[in-house]
Amino acid sequence: MALDGKIQKKKIPLSSPDISQSEEEKVLEVLRTRHLSQGPKIEDFEKSISEYINIPYVIGVNSGTSALHLIVRSLGLKEGDEVITTPFSFIASSNCLLMEKVKPVFVDIDPKTYNLNPSLIEDKINPKTKAILVVHIFGHPADMNPIYEIAEKHGLKVIEDACEAIGAEYHGEKVGRKSDAATFAFYPNKQITTGEGGVIVTSNPKIAELCKSMRNQGRNVNGDWLVYERLGYNYRLDELSAALGVAQMERIEEILEKRKSVAENYLNELADIPEITLPFIAKEVKMSWFTFVIKVDMDKRQKIMEFLHQEGIDCREYFPCIHLEPFYKEMFGYKEGDFPIAEKISKETIALPFHNNLKSEEVDYISVKLKEAIRLLKDV
């Protein structure tokens, strides 16, 4: 193990953004123009996403959470309405509903893909139900066809939180195109980054116009500077961030390929270890690798993570269930046992270090240490 000594004390971070020198320069160029907000870069960035996803309207905002909030508002969802969604996600996918006093109604997840289980949706539909908010967790698309069928049958809107899934495909088509509206996000741990940032994508011109107005204080989008037509926010994406986004989008294929090859390294290194469940990939999907999440025995997870931390390897529980966050329990009376599959999986998962430039030696090192942890725990 010649590598052990070299890497052992070095900390391998959970994630790390991949910013090239030319990307640094492009941000600097914008800084030098002194045109730092509401300039040409935001439009370039929106155009690049629009072409990549092949969708007519893209609205850039300052975070994925802002993007989700604007969709909730532009669909007119309000107090008394219910939206069906998943408890196994980053909390923003559900908090965006609380911002408008809309009730998130959770359904349990598919034990393999960890995405919302379509067969459980119809039981939760009642006259208050207005939409289904789907999350493509860890970059694996949810099973959308049955979801669209249910939505059509019951007259529900579909919102896609694709914040972890830019470039992922379902039956050969990129996610985010076919719902009423979808979001992508660009925090530094995402596939591409703008620092902070997000976008709404939609084919509906009305939703697009509302989102565009509301990101900018509710101003009339036709340019009358001081005409406010509705309640809005400052959710604008600045030009420095947008310039970084434009440059990152120029090499999105390369970035997604790099991530895929890191994932493949892990899949090879960790194959055939009965104590580890590797990420499942359904045959109808193309992953856009966001994180690399494995599953282990819940009684051993804590010890395994402590061991990895001691060896300089960052790793994390991903995700805690949203319905068990204290304020959700208090507001809605959710409790342990409500969504047993999501709860079990959230006690078993570990996100391992994962980013574009994770070297194969690092993947080897992490895998060796993981196997060591499992072996040590077997003996006790």
Interface with ligand PLP (CB under 6 A): 63-65, 89-90, 92-93, 135, 161, 163-164, 185, 187, 198
Q: Is 132 left (phi over 0), alpha (psi -120 to 50) or beta?
A: beta
Shortest distance, CB of residue 271 to ligand PLP, whole angstroms? 27
Report the residue number, 161 or 343, with the smaller CB distance to ligand PLP: 161
Report the residue number, 82 or 161, with the smaller CB distance to ligand PLP: 161
Closest residue to ligand PLP, judged by C-beta, is 64
| Structure token pair of residue 137 | 């967790």
Report the residue number, 89 or 349, with the smaller CB distance to ligand PLP: 89
Report the residue number, 113 or 367, with the smaller CB distance to ligand PLP: 113
Distance separating alpha carbons of residues 161 and 90, to the nearest angstrom: 10
* Residue 146, phi then psi, degrees to nearest 5: -65, -30
Strand partners, 72: none
Shortest distance, CB of residue 235 to ligand PLP, whole angstroms? 11
Distance separating alpha carbons of residues 245 and 195, to the nearest angstrom: 9
* The three-state (H, E, C) secondary structure of 153-217, written as one string: HHCCEEEEECCCCCCCEECCEECCCCCCEEEEECCCCCCCCCCCCEEEEECCHHHHHHHHHHCEC
Report the residue number, 135 or 263, with the smaller CB distance to ligand PLP: 135
List, in order, residues 6 or more apart from 45 with CB less than 8 Å away.
60, 194, 199, 237, 242, 243, 245, 246, 249
Shortest distance, CB of residue 190 to ligand PLP, whole angstroms? 6
Closest CA to 263 of 351, 149, 182: 351
List, in order, residues 6 or more apart from 332 with CB less than 8 Å away.
103, 104, 323
Report the residue number, 241 or 367, with the smaller CB distance to ligand PLP: 241
Shortest distance, CB of residue 192 to ligand PLP, whole angstroms? 12
Shortest distance, CB of residue 354 to ligand PLP, whole angstroms? 13
Closest CA to 131 of 76, 67, 88, 207: 76
Report the residue number, 93 or 288, with the smaller CB distance to ligand PLP: 93
Shortest distance, CB of residue 225 to ligand PLP, whole angstroms? 28
Shortest distance, CB of residue 197 to ligand PLP, whole angstroms? 7
Distance separating alpha carbons of residues 152 and 185, to the nearest angstrom: 27
List, in order, residues 6 or more apart from 167 with CB less than 8 Å away.
52, 174, 191, 252, 256, 288
Shortest distance, CB of residue 195 to ligand PLP, whole angstroms? 10
Report the residue number, 193 or 367, with the smaller CB distance to ligand PLP: 193
* Residue 134, phi then psi, degrees to nearest 5: -100, 140
| Structure token pair of residue 363 | 């993947």
Report the residue number, 90 or 292, with the smaller CB distance to ligand PLP: 90
Distance separating alpha carbons of residues 228 and 69, to the nearest angstrom: 19
Shortest distance, CB of residue 198 to ligand PLP, whole angstroms? 5
